[in-house]
A and B are shown apart, each in its own frame.
Chain A
Amino acid sequence: MKKTSPSSYDEMLQADGSVRSAYAGYCGWYDEQPPDLLRRKGSEAEAFFRRTGITFNVYGNEDAEERLIPFDMVPRIITAQQWRKLSRGIEQRVRALNAFLHDLYHRQEIVRSGRLPARLLKNNEAFLPEMVGFTPPGGVYTHIVGIDLVRTGEDDFMVLEDNARTPSGVSYMLENRETMMAMFPELFTRVRVREVSDYPRRLARSLAACAPSGFGGKKPVVAVLTPGIYNSAYFEHAFLADQMGAELVEGSDLRVENGRIAMRTTRGYEPIDVLYRRVDDEYLDPLTFNPNSVLGVSGIMDVYRGGGITIANAPGTGIADDKAIYSFMPEIVEFYTGEKPILQNVPTWRCAEPDALKYVLENLAELVVKEVHGSGGYGMLIGPTSSKKELAAFEAKLRAKPENYIAQPTLSLSTVPILTKAGLAPRHVDLRPFVLVSPNGIDITPGGLTRVALKKGSLVVNSSQGGGTKDSWVLDD
């Protein structure tokens, strides 16, 4: 195995080409396999995914309506020790996020104390005035969180993004593991990997624990709200509902009845206690938000504020995903937990600040610039791989609306090998662990979704832009 990308941290190989301890078990197995085995398995895996229907719709591309996210068969491996530290950092951050959201929608102590500029909330569409003064059942805002981590060295994990709104991708975490176990069962007898498969059960339990009180001792009814089969993540919605034994509902199945949200079943309308919604805030309630929405339920916000239903995640949590807010996360963690953050942020320049803007403009070609409200790799500039023309165009945008942007150094993301025609080759990766929050505590599934840039040298791991995924292993002690 050859190391080809000396500037970034190779998670499998040391500088001298020897295998790091995390990958010792895997590489031992790999070296014993016939050379073309993995490639043969690759086409098996693709056929398997197509048949089972794990697909990903890409907006604006008719032909590729149901495209597969490429799956790479070399796992991404994290040691038990690394995971322990990550878990502590994730838990701290998620605790802070929930306290922060509660504060934002109540007394706004963090603004009063001068740690967070009030301008970040003003005219910010993600901040919902409808939530002010209201506490969701159980005090939980972010029932499901995905924390995007990048790694730049042995012990250097940093948070690239918080996904407090509606993190997706957990079905890939689960199906990738299923696929690996189906294709290489003997590998799992040699390397002890922690289970991820009970995620749906944990999710169901966690959501049920957040049900509103006062509706009798019955088992809470949980339903998943999807925008429908044309949504890019429909497979995941259906998959999770199925695995949880919950109904998969659309807006047209729901209506308000006696102060509750009820779904139309073959036996009549039945009330729902917890709605795991995969519909954005904006479309949730045409009476309160976008009046043209057909994806939501008229009147659900009134029912919600009346205590008739739990909405997961709570409306208005998207404010925590804002990249300008993100840049304040170290302060936010400290403010609410009284502790130093365990996980660092990626260094971030807020272009709203004149000094930062000046620096960013002078160094545009070296930086990554992101829209404050953007997501999924759209509307961003990667300085080092952009042409002069693209840089100039972006500079104009930056000057016109600096407060719309933040900038970060182009990180040398760590690499994990993928299987290419020419054998193993390193590619850049990130990691999204999934976190569940309920009044019973914070529950982190050992693993997550590893996204990998399949193009050599590319740093864009988004599945909408040619990224793939890997099975992510946390080793058992």
Chain B
Amino acid sequence: MLGRSANGIFWLFRYLERAENISRLIEAGFRMALTRDASDASDEWRSLIVTLGLRQSFEARHGTEYTGPHVFNFILRDKDNSGSILAITEEARTNARMVRGGITREVWESVNDGWMQLKEALARPVTETRLGAVLDLVRRQSTQVRGAMEGTMLRNEIYNFARLGSFIERADNTARILDVKYYVLLPSISYVGSSLDNVQWENVLRSVAGERAYRWLNAGRMDPRGIAEFLILDGRFPRSLAFCYSKLRSNLASLAREYGGEMHSHELLRDADCQFHQATIEGIFEQGLHEFIGTFIRNNTSLALQIQRDYRFID
């Protein structure tokens, strides 16, 4: 296949994954804001903008006043935000058009259909009443495309590049959420938190759709160590870093089989993957969660770049 097509497929799935994760973040933020008084709610919204790395562009547009509708409209649809959900969904569709021959009709149609619906839904400013429905739409599109891919695509290089894109992005997103929220988890490491902390922790879990799974595994016990362990090391949870890396490992391995050899990216992956097998959550907190996450994000980015080089995504 063409290197450019591999690039298109990779980014199609990165963008879809990103849109889904952002919508979860908004939803979690919205929920928090609803349960707080005005000034705390504003803090929540600010934290959301910070997590997404949009502080500068947001404040250039709206100043330092963080109201819900300003924040979620900025993230969803603002023209000044090149990473808005609308913009990246459009990017995803552009990539899908570019690799139209490499994806099945079902995958293309779910991307295209989702984009058309979202474009219509985001044609006017979103109100608090409509927010839930809009976020639902974003998540449904991502789910639908994933379903179409799993159900109809040949398990070949194209599929593997698609999955690599998804899991590189997902690992990055989970890591970034952890990174911004680590201060919530950190101070409380040695004692069982107040009820406010409980809500904060639950919010972290909600941002990655992990609240139910976590509760189920831990019988409702909320503690920061458990949450960090769950998000970083629990290979059963599909948005944990360990899970993403086990998938990256198997997709890179099948590429190596198909291509009859390993590339430099396989080495990088092995190094990165090791940390999940040897690490304990105690060790990570000892090293410092922030440092651990920072290193992880950097390595994850290098791995993505190396994949792009190894498989000639760009010249």
Question: Does B227 reach chain A (CB closer than 8 Å)?
Answer: no
> Complex formed: what's the CA distance from A267 to B105 in Å?
26
Number of interface residues of A (CB under 8 A): 22
Most chain B CB neighbours (cut-off 10 Å) among A53, A241, A242, A247: A53
Tell yes or no: B43 within 8 A of A by CB: no
B157 interface residue per 8 A CB criterion: yes
A249 and B2: CB pair below 8 A? yes
Q: Is B238 on the interface with A (CB-CB < 8 A)?
A: no
> Do residues A51 and B2 form an inter-chain contact, with CB atoms below 8 A?
no
Complex formed: what's the CA distance from A266 to B109 in Å?
26
Asked whether A266 lies within 8 Å of B2 as measured between CB atoms, the reply is yes
Q: How far is the CA of A152 from the CA of B128 in the complex (A)?
A: 62
Whether a CB of chain B sits under 8 angstroms from the CB of A7 is no
Residues in A with CB closer than 8 Å to B101 are 238, 241-242, 247-248
**Contact residues, B1-26 vs A (CB, 8 A):** 1-6
Q: A residues within 8 A CB of B5?
A: 247-248
Cβ–Cβ contact B112 & A53, under 8 A? yes
Contacts of A50 in B (CB 8 A): 112, 116
Q: How far is the CB of B228 from chain A (nearest CB, A)?
A: 37
Given contacts A51-B113, A268-B312, contact A263 B100 (CB under 8 A): no
Contacts of A242 in B (CB 8 A): 100-101
* A253 beta carbon closer than 8 Å to chain B: yes
Chain A, 243-277, CB within 8 A of any chain B CB: 247-250, 252-253, 263-268
Given A53-B108, A268-B312, does the pair A229, B1 have CB atoms closer than 8 Å?
no
Are the CB atoms of B1 and A266 closer together than 8 Å?
A: yes
The reply to whether B109 and A265 form a contact with Cβ atoms under 8 Å apart is no
**Are B108 and A265 in contact (CB-based, < 8 A)?**
no
A234 contacts B by Cβ under 8 Å? yes
Known: A53-B97, A229-B94. A264 touches B2 (CB 8 A): yes
Query: What's the Cα separation between A50 and B1 when bound, in Å?
Result: 27
The answer to whether the Cβ of A52 comes within 8 Å of any Cβ in the partner chain is yes
Decide yes or no: A266 and B112 within 8 Å by CB, A52-B105, A252-B315 being known contacts: no
Would A53 and B100 count as touching, CB distance under 8 A?
A: yes
A250 engages B97 (CB within 8 Å):
no
A265-B312 in contact (CB<8A): yes
A247, closest chain B residue (CB): B2
Contact between B3 and A234, CB atoms less than 8 A apart: no
Q: How many residues of B contact A (CB 8 A)?
A: 23
Q: Give the shortest distance, in Å, between A45 (CB) and chain B (any CB).
A: 15
Interface residues of A in 199-255 (CB under 8 A from B): 229, 234, 238-239, 241-242, 247-250, 252-253
B97–A238 contact, CB under 8 A? Answer: yes
Q: Is the CB of B4 within 8 A of A229?
A: no
Q: By the criterion CB–CB under 8 Å, are A264 and B312 in contact?
A: yes
B296 within 8 A of A: no
User: In the complex, which residues of chain A have a beta carbon less than 8 angstroms from the beta carbon of B98?
Assistant: 229
* Chain A residues, Cβ within 8 Å of B113: 51
The residue of chain A having its C-beta at the shortest distance from the C-beta of B93 within the complex is A53
Chain B residues near A247 (CB, 8 Å)?
A: 1-2, 5, 101
Asked if B311 is an interface residue, CB under 8 A from chain A, the answer is yes
Q: Report which of B2, B94, B97, B116 forms a contact with A265, defined as CB distance below 8 A.
A: B2
Check A234–B97 contact: CB distance below 8 A. yes
**Closest chain B CB from A126 CB (angstroms):** 31
Report whether A264 and B3 are in contact in the complex, using a CB–CB cutoff of 8 Å.
yes
Q: Which of B1, B94, B112 contacts A51 (CB 8 A)?
A: B112
What is the chain B residue whose CB lies nearest that of A267? B259
Q: A51-B109, A51-B113, A265-B312 are in contact. Are A253 and B97 (CB under 8 A)?
A: no
Q: Report the separation of the CA atoms of residues A267 and B6 in the bound assembly, to the nearest whole angstrom.
A: 11
- Choose from B100, B105, B116, B311 the contact partner of A266 (Cβ within 8 Å): B311
Q: Are A250 and B4 in contact (CB under 8 A)?
A: yes
Contact code string A289-327 (vs B, CB < 8 Å = 1, else 0): 000000000000000000000000000000000000000
Q: Known contacts A252-B4, A253-B4; is A266 also within 8 Å of B97 by CB?
A: no
CA–CA, A252 and B315, complex, Å: 8
Given contacts A51-B112, A53-B112, contact A263 B2 (CB under 8 A): yes
Given the contacts A51-B113, A252-B315, A264 and B100 also touching, CB distance less than 8 Å = no
Within 8 A of A (CB), among B144-201: 157, 161
Q: Which of A229, A253, A265 has the most CB of B within 10 A?
A: A265
Contacting B6 at CB < 8 Å: which of A241, A248, A250, A266?
A266
For the complex formed, measure the closest distance between the CB of B289 and the CB atoms of chain A, giving whole angstroms: 37
Most buried by A among B1, B101, B312: B101
Bound complex: CA A195 to CA B15 (Å): 40
List the A side residues contacting B105 at CB < 8 Å: 52
Report whether B116 and A253 are in contact in the complex, using a CB–CB cutoff of 8 Å: no
- Residue positions of B touching A, CB distance < 8 A: 1-6, 94, 97-98, 100-101, 105, 108-109, 112-113, 116, 157, 161, 259, 311-312, 315
11 more CB-based (< 8 A) A-B contacts, given A51-B109, A53-B108, A53-B109: A50-B116, A51-B116, A52-B105, A52-B108, A229-B98, A241-B101, A250-B4, A253-B2, A253-B4, A266-B3, A266-B259
Task: Mark A residues whose CB is within 8 Å of B.
Answer: 50-53, 229, 234, 238-239, 241-242, 247-250, 252-253, 263-268
Would you list 6 pairs from A and B whose C-beta atoms are within 8 A, ordered by A residue? A234-B97, A248-B100, A248-B101, A264-B3, A266-B2, A266-B312
What are the 7 closest A-B residue pairs judged by CB atoms, nearest first?
Answer: A242-B101, A266-B311, A238-B100, A264-B3, A266-B6, A229-B97, A241-B101
